[in-house]
Structure 1
Amino acid sequence: MVKVLAVDDRPENLLALEGVLASSSYEVVSLRSGEDALRYLLREDIGDLAVILMDVQMPGLNGFQTVELIKQRERCQDIPVIFVTAISTSSEHVRQGYDAGSIDYLFKPIDPDLLRMKVGAFVKLHRYYRKTIEQGEMLRKRTSELEDSNRRFAETDALLKDQNEKLESIVEERTKELLVSNIRLLRSQERFKKMFMSSPCLISIRRLSDLAYIDVNESWNNFTGYGEDSIGDCSNLLQMSLESEGGTEFFRDRPMRNVKVNYRTKTEEWRDGLLSTEIIDIEGEKCLLEVIVDVTEKVRYEKEMTRLSELNLVGEMAAGIAHEIRNPMTTIRGFLQLSQNAGGRMDKEHVDMMLEELDRANSIITEYLSLAKNKQSDRRPTSLNRLLDSLYPLIQAEAMMSGKRVQMEFGDCGDIAIDEKEIRQFILNMSLNGLEAMSPGGVLTIRTESVDKFVILRIIDQGSGISKENLEKLGRPFFTTKEQGTGLGLAVCYSIAARHRAAIEVDSGPGGTAFAIHFNASDEH
């Protein structure tokens, strides 16, 4: 049984290698140190050992030292070694690995398919090597037989005839196998050609050296307008989108999958597509197989749906603001009619009430404009904890008036790029909403923390929670569950968060609602 030796001091890495390399055609032997590997090579028969996978960083003897000791033994010099590491990735370490006697140097995380193919190749080479040795032994044996047969001339003729018959049988068998292989190859080429030409996707083959087009399919001709006689005129057909930096050099190095591109037709029209590539070998020359899925109509459809959605939102907002402003206008008109019937006299109480209604209408319009305008935020590095600390007295006073409490919990957070005025408005709106959602005795918790590259602001109330149906409508203009609410406050908050590229997560249940606002700490103004 052919064996593959895996040496790594971490059991989880050995377990992963055993899982990736599990095969019925060879056995994986796992060892925990360089010393164990040396002892194994001294005790065991290494004739069936095809390859050694050696970790670099290990306690005691490291991978480089272990391989150098292995290569000093004559019986182990021809065993191929592959270094596997997640730490020693510098060119100096790679050079040291090759100097030590390895034939390859892989970095973790390793592509499982690539590792299986490499190990499988060495297993095949080992078997071929063993077979060659066996054949050599057989050849020496037959030579001895021939020398013996020369001494016995009478048996030589019969032996040669027998060997000739066997040779003819082998040649005939090999010829049949070659014929079958050629037939299979021709069928495979025919299938590829049919798929290539009949595919609805745009498919082309280009030389990897200069990216010149070699062949294109019918869909490519139909979409681009370039026929086989003019494909040399479209060297700048593709334009990589901003999401795939690197241009043409990007897909020379390795295959790509579903990368957004724009491609130019012969009529100078730019269309949208998803590009996938694969590096193939054609008659010994490296070529690039390109497959483009045309998504122009899908992109147009999505843009049209977005436009219609925006128009629908504008309609909803217009209806909402008309409804909200009509109420105070109706009240004012009623008092003016009452004053007209009373000969122009008006009580101070009625004047105050009309002024309140006018202020209410003005507040609605102000919030609407704050939501609608696409202004640029003046974002500067600011401490979120310091901002919350300055707002605490104001929020605490509002809470005490309704018999509630505010609890601040500051985490270790660095400065983030924010517009201080907008975030003050954001925090006040969210905090007041939380206080209004709670009954007397409730506690509003405002907490900050730093997780990975994000600074998170959490505002947690102890209210009755938000229903699943209403959760889906949060942030929609003019949606409110309050009797006197306009439905613009939370919409303004979502607008401010969008301008700061901050994500809002909501978790609500019978015990209360928690808003988590994620600010990107690495985001620069």
Structure 2
Amino acid sequence: MSLQAMDMPDSEEPPAHKPARAKILIVDDDERNALAVTTVLEELDQELVVARSGEEALRCLLHDDFAVILLDLHMPGMDGYETAELIRARRRTQHIPIVFLTAVFRDESHLIQAYSAGAVDMVFKPVDPFVLRSKVSVFVQLYLKQAEAQREAELRHRLQEENFRVRTEKLLAEQELKRTQARQDAILQSLAVCFHSSTAEPPFETGFISDTVEKLTGFPAARFMEDPGFGFTRMHPDDADRVVAELRAAQETGSYSSEFRWRCADGSYRTFLDQGVTAMGEDGRQELFGTMIDVTELRMLQQQLVQAQKMETVGQLTGGIAHDFNNLLTVIMGNLDLVSRKITGDERINRQLGAIRHAAERGQNLTSQLLAFSRRQHLTPEVLDVNLLITRFESLVRHAVGEIVHLETVAASKAVICDVDPAQLETALLNLAVNARDAMPSGGKLVFEVRPLSDGDELLSDRPPEANGPWIAISAIDTGVGMPPEVIARAFEPFFTTKGPGKGSGLGLSQVYGFARQSGGFVAVRSEVGQGTRMAICLPLCEKQPERVVSDEIGDKPLSGNAERILLVEDDAAVLALGIEMLMDLGYQVTTASDAASALEIIKRGEPIDLIFSDVVMPGGKSGVDLAREVKELRPGLPVLLTSGYTGEALNVHTRDVETLPLIAKPFRQEELAAKLRETMGA
């Protein structure tokens, strides 16, 4: 027989119409003894809980409170002595009375041991119903009286707290009422808002102006009151006539909103927004009542947002153009390779083919820079120390800038670890070096500096809201001609350049901008005409350690195929035809598909395929990455090589579901394709 306790929170009071009941814990491994005890105690009309072992009794005590514990001494495993010691060891249960039940241990030594273990009484088996009931009743009544006293004390405490709360709230309300006026005055003084009134006709004499005008302009309110025309004397000349017209029009419309530039006490121009209404003054003439706030930072942020949106739009356009252009270059360069292998010995034709290849490679470089700007290039980031990269890169930069430019590198005082594509970082730094060299036509000094950025560093003011640090800055600091603000605003736009015709593509800084943003960072520019320029690539620091450099050489493996069957998946007909020619020329057998769905049908039919060579971006709703994911489930171990003019977002999702896939970027040479195919098959 087992009577379980009802689930009721300890703090919940029993209903008023029901008497309080206590819980009695009976611990006995013998079911007959437990039944006998519960039968005797049922007349007390209390809640009885039976535990079959010391362990079960301890579990009951974890969540229930008991008036008394009837504990059998002789139990297998944990006996009554050990159970009692554990009950007494817990603060929550150490005051619960324990009555030992025993049929064996009756001698004096066991009695002493029982009381030492924490017992308050002993009852010998077979139990006398009257004696057991009487003893337990005493403990139950004591428990219930203590519980009732505790409830009454808690009730009195709650009443006192409620009384104190009411009195406190009343006192606070009175104090708050007294402080209302003072607080309102303080708020008006703390707000970066200037309240003012003036006449509705020129020269718009100031009738009242709040003291907060000093925070906005640097001039005290008395200056405006003493000189009625002072406000207009420091307004930007290009804005004054327009503001006068807007204030005059307020007499007809009843309100005005005017924005203008105003020269403050420190000599700088700030942009203020003045808004107000017209009302009749005490003398019967119309007056203007308005508020003026500083919106300089807001307008700057709006300009930055417009610039960012423009750059994003241009990036999407250039990325799409680069993708299509890379498909064309793939066909051109691929066919050049095929023709070059078939034409030998004719120096004139080889020279012409070389010129065509050189032009195609220039086009490849241009599309690479466009993809970098649009953040659609495929990056291969590595955990590396930027200090070491700058040191190794110094000789190449020195060669690029020439002897008339003095080059200096300043590394950080300790290792600076970033997770970044080293090749693209070197390209970005080389673009900065060339840009700095061109800004110093008569020579000068170029410093490459690596330093961590601390909170509050002024370069961080250019950080996009979504970018996260901590940061390091890799700065190219030159002593060149500098840039005016209008040039800085357009410096990263593709094809924008201040150089003469044929002296620059206008894509160097675009690559820097795109690389930094795609790497989770940003570019900060500081420049003044005649004072030189600082271009800083700001990248997030990495907590990982630099990875061991692993060679990607293929070694002596043959690059030609051995009649392996390759499934070529490409939606562009010209690229597909070229791919067939190049693969067959390398000694492979080729099966083709125009989209991922067709390729999957070939795989499901069980055709023998040794490798899948697929474009990433394809029609039909499935990309090359989707194809690779499904092929992994259908035929595990079948290698997949991807290619694309740009990968867009397609490759950003594959790392969650499949291991990193090999990729060869378009346009590619036949030798590059052959090496990548052997590498992929070998892996």
Q: TM-score, normalised by structure 2?
A: 0.27
Bigger share in helix: 1
Q: TM-score, normalised by structure 1?
A: 0.34
The structure whose Rg is larger is 2
